[in-house]
């Protein structure tokens, strides 16, 4: 049965709603909680206009203890709904992010990265008594250290001029036409830029996945998820924000699937080395040679390979011979065919083609992304 909460904006308190949703049903969570800014007085610009600061009731907590208890509750709820291989992103500022980081670790989440969002157009520091507050911090965490989480490494690199994407992201604040208006004024004090959500959702989820935001505000996460062909679930306390989010979502047309697929990211269908032996592509007793010509191993009947005293998978034996933690055995080993040394990877492609599956661009994907040990 389909989850009845899919593609809904749910008006309610996330510390309760998260315990009503089906357990382990969400692939990705983006949480932009109250920051507990503790603003003590009004803030004025030098030109005597008042700064529209975040002094809303939803950002008021009597003490750090009260804030921590609240965050523990919603983080426990997130942990409950997250699939074992799902991940969670949480955003905050110096006011709250360190408390959130500690709570995440206390609850068993496994922190994968912290990302600094460098605001290219920050609000100046009007009092001149501190540095300009020009960044926010995001924490990306999996449910456990063992989680096999989604991360589109190649997408990140390809969209960054073939350089590994770093953990500081330069993006502007949400301004202009993107800013949701209500009665001619900006509707929400902390609306996040769609570009930030787009990056996270593209990197850490797949078409058809479920993306949840427990503090939906005016709907940014859901809007981007819908546009990118993901399902969304949004929870928001404030009925006006819920209404604005629904109106915003009604305008969103999902992108066609042809624009959402990334051939370079296709997961390698699993072809164990034993299948090559079973199909007679590599023979029992045949010698494997490392492509650099330095090592040899013999293929045993059960698909295990042996090099002297070392026996195991093609990956493990290669790693032990080289004395490194992991090696992609498919691109390390080859066999002689027609007087030439052919890589096991090339032979594997043959088996895939025979089964009607063609894999593109695998040669640069890390072994870990191919699900190999």
- Under the rule (CB under 6 A), what is the footprint of ligand SAM? 13-15, 32, 34, 58, 188, 190-192, 215, 217-218, 220, 235-238, 241
Based on CB atoms, which residue is closest to ligand SAM, 54 or 369?
54
Based on CB atoms, which residue is closest to ligand SAM, 54 or 281?
54
Rounded CA separation 63/81 (Å) = 28
Strands, sheet with 82-92, edge to edge from the N-terminal-most edge strand? 8-11, 231-236, 210-213, 26-31, 82-92, 135-142, 110-119, 168-171
Q: State the CB neighbour count (10 A cutoff) for residue 268.
A: 18
Based on CB atoms, which residue is closest to ligand SAM, 201 or 305?
201
Q: How far is the CB of 15 from ligand SAM (least distance, A)?
A: 5
Dihedral sign (CA 8, 13, 14, 15): negative
Find out whether 335 and 347 touch, Cβ atoms under 8 Å.
yes
Based on CB atoms, which residue is closest to ligand SAM, 78 or 104?
78
Rounded CA separation 116/157 (Å) = 18
Rounded CA separation 110/149 (Å) = 11
Q: How far is the CB of 242 from ligand SAM (least distance, A)?
A: 9
Based on CB atoms, which residue is closest to ligand SAM, 242 or 327?
242
Q: How far is the CB of 142 from ligand SAM (least distance, A)?
A: 22
Based on CB atoms, which residue is closest to ligand SAM, 14 or 297?
14
Rounded CA separation 4/328 (Å) = 43
Q: How far is the CB of 225 from ligand SAM (least distance, A)?
A: 12
Based on CB atoms, which residue is closest to ligand SAM, 33 or 334?
33
Residues with Cβ within 8 Å of 289's Cβ and at least 6 positions away in sequence, in order, are 295, 296, 333, 334, 335, 336, 341
CA angle 102, 108, 113 (to 5 degrees): 65
Q: How far is the CB of 26 from ligand SAM (least distance, A)?
A: 16
Upper half-sphere CA count for residue 355 (Cβ side, 13 Å)? 13
Q: How far is the CB of 190 from ligand SAM (least distance, A)?
A: 4
Whose CA is closest to 327, among 288, 360, 355?
288
Based on CB atoms, which residue is closest to ligand SAM, 206 or 221?
221
Rounded CA separation 130/3 (Å) = 48
Q: Output the residue with the shortest Cβ distance to ligand SAM.
A: 217
Based on CB atoms, which residue is closest to ligand SAM, 216 or 318?
216
Q: How far is the CB of 127 from ligand SAM (least distance, A)?
A: 23
> What Cα–Cα distance (Å) separates residue 299 from each residue in 124, 260, 266, 285, 304?
67, 41, 29, 5, 6
Q: Which two tokens stand for residue 335?
A: 């066999």
Q: How far is the CB of 32 from ligand SAM (least distance, A)?
A: 4
Residues with Cβ within 8 Å of 153's Cβ and at least 6 positions away in sequence, in order, are 365, 366, 369
Q: How far is the CB of 197 from ligand SAM (least distance, A)?
A: 8
């Amino acid at each position: 049965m389909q989850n009845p909460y899919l593609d809904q904006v749910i008006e309610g308190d996330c510390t309760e709603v998260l315990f009503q949703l089906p357990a382990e049903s969400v692939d990705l969570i983006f949480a932009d909680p109250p920051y507990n800014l503790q603003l003590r007085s009004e803030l004025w610009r030098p030109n005597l206009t008042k700064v529209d600061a975040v002094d809303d009731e939803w950002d008021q907590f009597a003490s750090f203890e009260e804030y921590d208890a609240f965050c523990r509750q919603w983080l426990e709820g997130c942990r409950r709904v997250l699939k074992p291989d799902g991940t969670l992103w949480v955003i905050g500022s110096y006011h709250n992010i360190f408390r959130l980081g500690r709570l995440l670790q206390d609850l068993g989440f496994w922190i994968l990265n912290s990302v600094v969002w460098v605001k290219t157009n920050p609000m100046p520091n009007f009092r001149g008594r501190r540095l300009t507050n020009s960044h926010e911090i995001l924490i990306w965490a999996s449910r456990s250290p063992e989680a096999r989480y989604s991360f589109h490494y190649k997408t990140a690199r390809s969209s960054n001029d073939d350089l590994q994407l770093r953990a500081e992201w330069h993006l502007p604040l949400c301004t202009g036409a993107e800013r949701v208006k209500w009665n001619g004024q900006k509707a929400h004090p902390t609306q996040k830029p769609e570009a930030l959500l787009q990056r996270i959702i593209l990197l850490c989820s797949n078409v058809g996945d479920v993306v949840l935001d427990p503090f939906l505000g005016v709907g940014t996460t859901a809007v981007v998820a819908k546009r990118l062909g993901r399902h969304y679930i949004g929870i928001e306390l404030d009925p006006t924000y819920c209404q604005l989010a629904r109106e915003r979502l009604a305008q969103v047309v999902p992108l066609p699937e042809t624009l959402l697929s990334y051939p370079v990211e296709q997961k390698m269908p699993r072809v164990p080395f034993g299948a090559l032996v079973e199909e007679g592509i590599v023979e029992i007793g045949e010698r494997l040679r490392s492509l650099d010509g330095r090592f040899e191993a013999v293929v045993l009947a059960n698909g295990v390979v042996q090099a002297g005293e070392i026996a195991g998978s093609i990956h493990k034996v290669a790693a032990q011979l080289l004395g490194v933690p992991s090696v992609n055995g498919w691109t390390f080993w080859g066999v002689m065919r027609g007087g030439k040394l052919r890589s096991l990877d090339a032979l594997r492609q043959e088996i895939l083609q025979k089964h009607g599956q063609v894999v593109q661009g695998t040669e640069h994907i890390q072994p870990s992304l191919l699900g190999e040990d």
